[in-house]
Chain A
């Protein structure tokens, strides 16, 4: 098995995730895309850990999973708050910072 294949997979998922973050209007969908990105990072970590024969890759992948969980929790809390205040979670409508 080539290392590259894992890396390509990770890159693909990463870019799809980017696309999802930039293209989606629903806040929850954005969070999902972010999960996608995080997972791609995880794949990278584990692949490199296996490549170098070091277990730190997996360890950090675990950490990332935990962080992702925390982040989704907080993120959803924010999305809910936005929904509560604006009756909509369309990120395109949250443009109060418009200059």
Chain B
């Protein structure tokens, strides 16, 4: 993955759009990422081991970050890795630990009526798939240069400053809320 990243980074550092010839690399890269993500996700929702599930989530998140890179959203990818993999995963693992999840295989992780969920998921998939196909049948993504952090920052702090501030308040509230909820008294 690191090799891949360096290649990608090299390409991005130059600020050059992907050439014709280089496009297939992006496609392949994307498909690999997608496959990994889906496989890991499937394992995530089916595995019997909680810790394994956490690790699979880690894989998924990484793959998603890779997808961001393919789309040219480098800041988003980095933030994804930092926040998700760094903070959220840790948090989830802490949660697993503190709730005395069984280490090793655990048979009680799935409902007996899983089929309902499967049904709903498949229905949703069908709907979404069909609608996506119908709406954006042959749309191509225009090749463009990856956006850098500067552009993102500009956008945030000019157009979307209010949501940004709201977000910070939200984080504060969530922090306080979590502390209050979970404190031992």
Contacts and interface: CB of A to CB of B under 8 A. Distances in A.
A8 to B, nearest CB: 7
A96 interface: no
B79 A6 contact: no
B26 to A, nearest CB: 6
A17 B42 CA distance: 9
Interface in B133-185: 133, 136-142, 144, 147, 151-152, 155-156, 159-160, 163-164, 167, 170-171, 173-175, 177-179, 181-182, 184
Given A3-B139, A4-B139, A72 B92 contact: yes
Interface residues on B, range: 35 or more
Contacts of B173: 70
Given A15-B122, A28-B92, A72-B91, 9 more contacts: A8-B129, A9-B38, A16-B41, A16-B45, A20-B41, A28-B95, A31-B92, A36-B45, A69-B171
B96 interface: yes
Interface of B: 23, 26-27, 30-31, 34, 37-38, 41-42, 44-45, 50, 53-54, 57, 60-61, 64, 67-68, 70-73, 75-76, 79-80, 83-84, 87-88, 91-92, 94-96, 98-101, 106, 108-111, 114, 116-118, 120-122, 124-125, 128-129, 132-133, 136-142, 144, 147, 151-152, 155-156, 159-160, 163-164, 167, 170-171, 173-175, 177-179, 181-182, 184
B76 A61 contact: yes
Interface in A1-38: 1-9, 11-29, 31-33, 35-36
Contact of B155 (A11, A20, A55): A55
B38 A1 contact: no
Interface residues of A, number: 71
Contacts of B67: 6, 9, 43, 46
